Each structure stands twice: as structure tokens, then as C-alpha cells.
Amino acid sequence: MHALKSPLMASSLYICTPFLILALFLSPTSSAVVPSANSSVCQYTRYPSFCRSSLPINNSSANVYDYGRFSVRKSISAAHKFSSLIDKYLSGSSGLTTGAIHALQDCQYLAGVNIDFLTNAFQTVDKSQTTLSTMKSQDIQTMLSAILTNTQTCIDGLQATAASWSSKNGILAPLANDNKLYSVSLSLFNRGWGVKNKKKSSSVSAHKKHIGFKNGRLPLKMSERSKAIFETVGRRKLLQTDDGGDQVVVSDIVVVSQDGTGNFTTVTDAINIAPNKSAAADGYFLIYVTAGVYEEYVNIPKNKLYLMMIGDGINQTVITGNHSVVDGWTTFNSATFIVTAPNFVAVNITIRNTAGAIKHQAVALRNGADLSTFYSCSFEGYQDTLYTHSLRQFYRECDIYGTVDFIFGNAAVVFQNCNLYPRSPMSGQFNAITAQGRTDPGQNTGTSIQNCNIQAAEDLGSTRTYLGRPWKEYSRTVYIKTFMDTLIDAVGWREWSGDFALNTSYYAEFDNSGPGSDTSGRVTWPGFHIINATDAVNFTASSFIPADEFLPQTGVPYSSGL
């Protein structure tokens, strides 16, 4: 374990007026079926005493929906106050270290995301009805889960990079209360509007799609050159459809080429001209990145919806950087490639961080993009290679290289048919494939690794390698039908710090194969489980993330069930 990584706990549509935010009276909802007293409602949260003291609704007929709405309103107020507090610290940052400033800037960004998510959540729950569609309920639970993740990320960054900053407690103290309030909001939402658990079928099912495009949906004004490029890309085997099924809809295409023969020479320039806030019906804005090594830091912001990026193949189209914690970056902002735009798709690209093991945390990809998809991509780094930060994600037929905690974060994420390659870390270190960051039992997050292949990278040697360790209190990781070679230690899993999270984490294995899959010598923690098909199906693509809702339009192949 490396000391730098702390074992401690990682579009605005509605404008709230101060009167709305601070309003204390909420009209009751007559159709509620849960207990109405304050103490009864608060018992469903992690913090009953905090809930009772912070939600003083003086209305004997108030119910879980009233408390839920009020809690989200109060959360909006708290997020605004915290954002103003961060702005105050940054405006007087002359005496702060570079690390402290970077951590505060992360907090500033994350506070803005939280305000967006909370206002969207309030717009949904502030309706007269008390039920939501399954998809809408999952959307709001996802956003409220991400709010807790964002707040924890801010806390982690401050603790890791501002150890000598005496004023940091002026931020950490209010954050601790905010985290409790956000947890209460999530608990009340789940209790009132959440999707009720349903029995899932454990039968084997598959949904296969092949990437391709409907020529009929090409824009009429596309240039002859762009049409020629599109047809060239479309003829590649990857982009062909063999079954005559649905094809991917593309609105336009631009080409990135380092030799100047394309529309742009950098990936960033192509992203900048992509349309803002596209709708699904518009189709994907396709950026075709030709072979080459692109030394740039790519950031795809939240307003670049439905963007698809296709390269010439793993190790052909390479995006590379070398930011690291040792060189003054936060883990959160050390990434070579950052994406937060919903419905992003990447195909045939290598994303690399070359800082090396000696530089400790150094992220290749940080993904905070809801309903995002990576297909036939490669992620290369050492410690903290792939940061599956938040929201819902899917990876298919990808290669992932790393050492300590090289797949980490708190998204709801499914990996299918991927290759995981532990490599040689620094002297004295061990490898942990996953470090999942779930901090609250109400979060719909976790890491599901299905039909994957775990084998040693060429340089691994005899380093002890584990399936994962509990970064946060409710860490959740499941391995399903995955091949595990001899590199996996017989105990399977590793402690984070003493007995932290050994009772509250959820680690499970189902029907894995290979010499490293023998469970007879596994850890005996209460949080470790050998599960059956009935339990495993809850972590498949159609159950754990809404695969059938968003993956067909991407054209990426996937399996819905076991």
C-alpha cells in the first residue's frame, strides 16, 4: 500500500430562489403510504438524529415525499453555500500551496456539478405525483449517488494535498454536514420514489449489436470530402453490420490527422467545434482520429452530448500525457483524458499516462460521463489508471494495464470481455485490481467485471496481486464468469487499513475460471460472498446499468444477462 493514497473516505434546468430554498412549509401528499411522523420518516436514513434536527417540518401529516422534497431543497441551499465558501478561499489563495489550490479548484468544479444535479432532482420530485417511471427513478438515484461521490472526492483531495494547510478544517467541517444531508436526501428518495426490488431472471440472455451507420441520416450539406471520409471509415470491418440490424445514426463527421490532411490536427480542436446539447435524435457527432501519438490533455465537457470518437485501433491512435500527484496534480485532475459529457462513445483508441510507477497516482482516463461507452480501447498506466469516477458506464473488449488500485472510483460500471493486465509496481508494493469507492448503502454504484480475462502483463514478475480492496466503507465489486490466471493471490482480496469496511463492503465471485479462481482459500470477511446465478444477475448490464436503454444506439455489442 502506498502512503500517498489516503485510506480515508471519493445542466442546471431549474433556478431556486432563496425563498424557495429556505421555505419550511410543504403541503402534504395525501396518497403517501408510509409513516408520517418526523421520527418515523427519519428512521429510514443513515443519520436519524441529524435528519430529525435538520428537517423541522411542523406538519403532523407530512410524509416521506414531503421530507424528501424539503431535504433536496435544503441540499440545494447547502451546495450553494459551499460553492460560495470555496470561491472565498480561492479569491484569497495567495498563501496557499499549488496542491491546495488544485484541490480547491476540484471542489469548486464538483460543487457546481452538485448544484446542477440537485436542481434537476428537485425539478423531478417537486411534482404532484408520488411515483416515477423506472428509468426516471434510476436517473435521479444516479444523480443523488453522484452528489455524495463528488463531495467525497473534494474531501479526499483536500486531505491528500493540503496536509499543511491550517484552514482546511473550515471547509471539511461543513462538508461533513453536507454529506449527511445528501445521504438523507438519497435515503428519502429511495424510500419514496425509488424502484422497488424485483426478482430478476437468472437465465442467460444476450443482446448483440454491431457498429454501423444509416447513410440516409447523413446531413444533406455534408461536403464531398466528408462523405468520402465517412464512406472510408464505414467500410472498415469494425463499422459494418453483418445482421442487417439497427445502425448508428451520425449527424456529421470531422477528421483529426497530425499530417494536416484532416479537418484538425488536435483532438481538442475537434471537440471544441462539436455541437452543444445535442439530442439523441440528432445522432452522434463523430470525430475520427487517425493513427498517431497525440500528446495532449483531452477534456470533453458536459455540454458535448452524443459525441462519438473513433480511432484507427489500439496502439495506433494514442492519446498520452504524464500528469501525476507527485508533480503537484490532484488524482482527480491528473487524467490524460477526461469525459463528463453524457452518452459519450469511444472506439479503437489507446489512452495512456506515462508518469510511471514512481509518480504514484497518475490517471489515464477519468470518466464522469453518464451512460458512456468504451469499446475496443486500451487504458495504460500504473497506480490509478482508470478512474471510473461516477454515474453509469460500460466497457467492452478493452485492455486495462496498471498496478495499485488501477480500476477505482464510484460509478455503476460494467466491464465485459475485457483484458485486465496487472503490471510491475514499485518495489515493496502489491497490486490491487480494484478499489471501489461506494460510501453510502443507498448508492446504486459498484464495479461488475463479467466475462473478462485477468493475466499478467509481461513485466509483472512475482508481485502479489489481489482482486480488490475496500477504498470506502461500502465498497462493492463483483467478478462474474471471469478467467483468473495464477497471478491472483489465494486469499483473493486485500484489506485497506486494519478491519476498515470488512463488514460493510460487498465483494462477490460467481462462476469464475482459471487457477486464480479457486475460492477455497479466500478471505473470510463478512463482506465477502460466493454467490449464485440469482444474485449474480443483479450485476449484469441490463440490471446494474440500463444497458438495454442506451447501448443499442451506440452499436457496441453487449450481453444483457449472464
3-class state of residue 288 by DSSP = strand
Rounded Cα distance, 456 and 182, in Å? 41
Give the separation between CA 122 and CA 314, rounded to whole angstroms: 42
Asked if 319 and 300 count as a contact pair (C-beta separation under 8 A), the reply is no
Amino acid, single-letter form, for residue 254: V
Is residue 242 exposed (0-12), middle (13-18) or buried (19+ Cβ within 10 Å)?
A: exposed
Round to whole Å and give the CA distance between 352 and 423.
14
Residue 340: HSE in the Cβ half-sphere, 13 Å Cα cutoff: 13
269 is catalytic: no
> At residue 468, what is the residue type?
G
SS3 annotation, 93-135: HHHCCHHHHHHHHHHHHHHHHHHHHHHHHHHHHCCCCCCCCHH
Q: Choosing from 252, 399, 405, 440, which is the catalytic residue?
A: 405
Residues in contact with 329: Cβ distance below 8 Å, sequence separation at least 6, in sequence order: 102, 323
Integer Cα distance of 130 and 463 in angstroms: 54
Q: Which residue has the cell 450485476?
A: 539
Tell me how far apart the alpha carbons of residues 265 and 304 are, in angstroms, rounded to a whole number.
19
Question: CB–CB of 275/285 below 8 Å?
Answer: yes
Distance CA 529, CA 446 (A): 15
From CA 11, how far away is CA 24, in angstroms rounded? 26
Q: Which active-site residues does the annotation give?
A: 405
